Structure 1
Amino acid sequence: MSVLTLGGEKLWKRGWELLKRGAVDKRHDFNLAVLCSVTASLHPRSRTLVLRKALEEEGELWCYTDKRSEKAEAVNAGRDTLSWTFWSPRHNIQFNGSGRSHWLGAEESQQLFAALPRHSRKAYATLSAPGSPAVEGDSGLPTDWKKRNLAATNYAADNFGVLITHLTEVEILFLSRDGHQRLSAKRQPFRTWEFQWLVP
């Protein structure tokens, strides 16, 4: 049955089904998102990252990041409203959501880092902060990285963080030759969602 015939509530549920699937399936369209933050000079900055968790009841999206990164600096400086965009050409659905973001607690964050394999720790193991000037495309990793065992990468835990965005504004766009649909959802933090159809 077409999503178009299912109505607003079902379109909302479908969007969250795709998010939850994307958080656990690396090959799913919603596994990757475009995350947008605002720089200190108030310029938007977007990047593609991996969705790590999607909690429908809480309205939360989780990602891993280097705590020295630009998006981390934005959150720490109070520019903590982040925007997430997902697109699935297979399902013709775009999910855009935004809200204030905060850090997962240190103990839980360290437990997640401890479970990461060595190759996944590379993203947090550079000797300088992401975005720092580099020489000729250098990876930024220690020169002996390839020889290190898992324990020798534990220092990267200091740079690892989990950002959680508590969504308060969402738009879901469904594209169909029979007619597009665009659904808006807004709420105050930790309150009930209010839905409104929009012109696509």
Structure 2
Amino acid sequence: MKPTYLYKYVALRSSDESIQRRLTDLLVSSRLWFASPSSFNDPLDCKPGFSFKNSTETELNRLNIMRLKYLLEKKVDLSFVVHYHMRVEGRDLTANDEIFQSVLLMMQQEAREQLGVLCLSQRENDPVMFYHYGDKHRGLCLQFRTEHYFTQTRCVHYSDEYPVLNFFQLVKSRIRTQKCI
């Protein structure tokens, strides 16, 4: 069951001009800021591992084409691109390959920078959250009604294990989601 309210802990004052502007936007213009996961204090946040198990030859070829396009768009050193392409064509490239992983990490980092995440809490009086995100108890805890605006929210489930997602299942579900919007 979805909660009736969600809460956001914020600093009331900040020497960081962008944080102050976001608070003003929120309070005056009702605009929320969706932060890039690359700005989070946890470097592993929103950075799952990817699995390519049970991938078809067509899917792997499509992935390699995506990577080559990415490398060319980013104007990566041409010798690296050629070396990568030769390894792909020779089928000498596996998910454990160093080049394969480095290109995947570059793509993953860029994707993290393009994402926006809104962090909310189900608890309105959490002293730890208030300390970390509410300027050491000097900030605000804002309450949002969920019925109209937060229908797509999802709970975060923390785990001791690093998440591993099947790359192609994720891409397929993302395409289906985009078609529904």
- Determine if the TM-score, normalized by the shorter chain, exceeds 0.5: no
Higher fraction of helix? 2
Higher relative contact order (CA 8 A, sep 6+): 2
Which TM-score bucket, shorter chain as reference?
under 0.3
Report the TM-score when normalising by structure 2. 0.28
Report the TM-score when normalising by structure 1. 0.26
Structure 1 or 2, whichever has the larger Rg, is 2
Higher fraction of strand? 1
